[in-house]
A = this chain, B = another copy of it.
Amino acid sequence: MSKAIKQNLADSKKMSAELFCLTYGAMVTEMLKDYEDPKDVTIQLDKMGFNMGTRLADDFLAKNANVPRCVDTRQIADVLCRNAIPCYLGISATASSWTSGDREFTITLEANPLTELVQVPAHLVSAGLSYSQLIAGAIRGALEAVHFKVYASATDTGANTEIRIRFDQVLKDSLPAGEDD
């Protein structure tokens, strides 16, 4: 584990990734029973992630006063890969595959704690289940809380997890989530 990740984890309360992995697996199994279409589970995971992301953004900003204000997508990717993802998932991540004038990029998670002990059946993936969409939703929610509207989708490749992020717009006129009361 690199020094940067150790430092980020030191700022946060820690627990076992195995327990999280099993709890998440139980939750997705539960949702697959409730929704007939695996695509609907993906949508639901995305929504849950979004709501968590808006709260995690507050938590992250409170703990990382030294992180500079981002003005472009390269900086956003840098903070996500170097600070936020190591802090909350305890893993490192890299940004690559920049396209559309830096408006789109892919974050690759070196190891995904959600899928560590889990084998997602291929027929559910073909039917539209994106098992790790919670993480993509959380990134979307966290960025929306700091005025960046993005689209995010997760793909578990087997070897790792890729989150494709597409920047949409800066939300200039609306207040970030959690500051409207």
Give the CA-CA distance A176 to B124 in the complex, in Å.
Answer: 31
For A87, list chain B residues within 8 Å (CB): 16
Which residue of B13, B15, B27 is within 8 Å of A88 (Cβ)? Answer: B15
Q: Say yes or no for A44: interface residue by CB 8 A criterion.
A: yes
- A residues within 8 Å of B by Cβ? 9, 12-20, 22-24, 26-27, 30-31, 34, 44, 48, 51-52, 55-56, 59, 87-90, 113, 116-117, 134, 138
* Bound CA–CA A152/B173 (angstroms): 52
| Chain copies in complex | 2
Contact across chains for A23 and B27 when beta carbons are under 8 A apart: yes
Q: Are A19 and B20 in contact (CB under 8 A)?
A: yes
The CA-CA distance from A55 to B19 in the complex, in Å, is 10
Q: Is the pair A14, B90 in contact by a Cβ cutoff of 8 Å?
A: yes
Pick 26 A–B contacts, CB within 8 A, sort by A. A9-B15, A12-B16, A13-B17, A13-B116, A14-B14, A14-B16, A14-B90, A15-B89, A15-B90, A15-B113, A16-B89, A16-B90, A18-B56, A18-B59, A19-B138, A20-B23, A22-B56, A23-B24, A23-B27, A23-B134, A26-B27, A26-B48, A27-B27, A30-B30, A30-B44, A34-B34
